[in-house]
Structure 1
Amino acid sequence: MKKASICFSEAQHAWALWNQTAYATRYELLCSVATKLKLDNFKAPLAFHHKHSAQLLSEPELMPGPTGETNELYTAGRGVALIIADKSVELGCAKALYAQLAVALLSGNCVLLCVQDSELANEVLTLIENLSLPLGVISLVEYDQFSQLLDSDVRVVCVLGEEELVKSVNRSLAGKPGAIAPLVTEVDLHRMPVAQDPKLALRYITERTRTINITAVGGNATLLELGSAEH
């Protein structure tokens, strides 16, 4: 495997392209490989979160202005997401991991994965090798390098496993200078309350606005006329 610093650099460079990729394309790429590999642990949470998040992630909300400008509210991925899974996350509860991975990628983030269980890590590596994604969109990093990645500019962190790991990562994030990256946690690996949250995508996105202002060339002429001396 590559060093953590190299994987992070590749993810940063790949993020702009992946974030601008149409949502439908992102979903199609992920769905096709899940079907090809017959990976139900990945396919099921992918379908669930696509059902609940497709409109949020793909369709901007139009907010017309009073004098003719157009405002659009849309979503974007946060940047590089780090997902950490300790030894308690094994094949039997892989859905908890794959739900986070699916949502992070669907939302437009690049993902770095640190998986301690060797069997699950091998399955994740097979998934990565079969995904036709640009270099850096998703990478598997040695588990013991997650501390190094926490010191980098990751924009969202997900921890799956024991509470002690969650507390340790939380302390590390709180001690970093600058903005604190959001922390997503899943400690109940069988009930998976977080993985089954239909609003999970909200933790991996930011909201942005796009404004097209045409008032300088006339805007809404009817409204502008109301301000003239003749009315």
Structure 2
Amino acid sequence: MKNASICFSEAQQAWSLWNQVPYATRYELLISATKDSTLNDFKQPLEFHHKHSAELLCDPVFMPGPTGETNELYTAGRGVSLIIADRTVDVQVGKAFYAQLSVSLLAGNCVILCVQDSELAQQVLMLIERLALPKGVLSFVEYDQYVQLLESDIRIATVLGDEVFVKEINRCLARKSGAIAPLIAEVELAKMPVAQDPKLVLRYITERTRTINITAVGGNATLLELGSAEH
């Protein structure tokens, strides 16, 4: 099993390409691994969040500008996502874990997993093998390496476990220098209020805009004068 620094480096390198893969293609790659019933705990949350995320992530929103330019509002993954599941997260509450995993990948993030429960860890390794995603998109490291990963330039951290553990992770993130990594926490593993949020994907993305200015080739250039001192 690779160490944390190698996995993080591979995830960083893979992110720009994975983020550019069309949403529909990402979903097809993920759902293709669930052909039999052994991975229903992954399939069900994946289908649920696909239903609610597709409209948000598929197509950019076009916003025509007053001077003829074209503005597009679109979404992008945040970067490298770290998901940590402590000893309280086992296969009985696996759907809470898989919901976070599926949404993070659908959103265009590369994901590194740290799982403490041995049975769930084996199930996750089987899933990774079946998915056969590009190198660096989805990685699994030894559980205790999450401490090292928290010091890396992760762009979002997800923690599933008891409240004391979540607070510990939150303090680690607060002490970091550099970019602020948002924290997503699931402590009610039986009820799964976070995992069942239909808008969960919004916490795994950023919004971006793309502007194409066409005033030089036929746009309404006269409107550019409205802000000048002579008018």
TM-score normalised according to structure 1 size: 0.94
In 1, Cα distance between equivalents of 2:2 and 2:179 = 27
Match for residue 111 of structure 2?
111
Aligned partner of residue 152 in structure 1, secondary structure: coil
Q: Runs in 1 of length 4+ with deviation above 2 angstroms?
A: 35-38, 220-224
In 1, Cα distance between equivalents of 2:193 and 2:59 = 27
Q: 1:213 to 1:138 in 2, by over 3 A?
A: same
Match for residue 146 of structure 1?
146
- 1:49 deviates by 0.5
- 1:164 deviates by 1.2
Match for residue 229 of structure 1?
none
- One-letter identity of the residue aligned with 2:46: L
In 2, Cα distance between equivalents of 1:41 and 1:133 = 19
In 2, Cα distance between equivalents of 1:26 and 1:92 = 27
Pairs within 5 Å for 1:185-224:
185-220=185-220
Encode CA deviations 1:166-214: one digit per residue, 9 max, x unaligned: 0110000000012320000000000000000011001100000011110
CA contact (8 A) 1:35 1:43 kept: no
Match for residue 229 of structure 2?
none
- 1:221 deviates by 7.0
In 2, Cα distance between equivalents of 1:220 and 1:102 = 45
Match for residue 5 of structure 1?
5
CA contact (8 A) 1:49 1:103 kept: yes
Pairs within 5 Å for 1:8-19:
8-19=8-19
Aligned partner of residue 198 in structure 1, secondary structure: coil
In 2, Cα distance between equivalents of 1:116 and 1:217 = 59
CA contact (8 A) 1:104 1:204 kept: yes
- 1:67 deviates by 1.8
Verify: 1:155 aligned to 2:172, yes or no: no
Match for residue 172 of structure 2?
172
Question: Greater shift after overlay, 190-199 or 62-71?
Answer: 62-71
- One-letter identity of the residue aligned with 1:167: K
Instruction: Percent identity, please.
Output: 72
In 2, Cα distance between equivalents of 1:221 and 1:181 = 42
Root-mean-square deviation (CA, aligned residues, Å) is 1.6
Match for residue 96 of structure 2?
96
- One-letter identity of the residue aligned with 1:218: G
Match for residue 74 of structure 2?
74
* 5+ residue gaps, structure 1: 227-231
- One-letter identity of the residue aligned with 1:90: D
Match for residue 26 of structure 2?
26
- 1:43 deviates by 0.6
In 2, Cα distance between equivalents of 1:154 and 1:171 = 15
- One-letter identity of the residue aligned with 1:146: Y
- 1:218 deviates by 2.4
- 1:222 deviates by 8.6
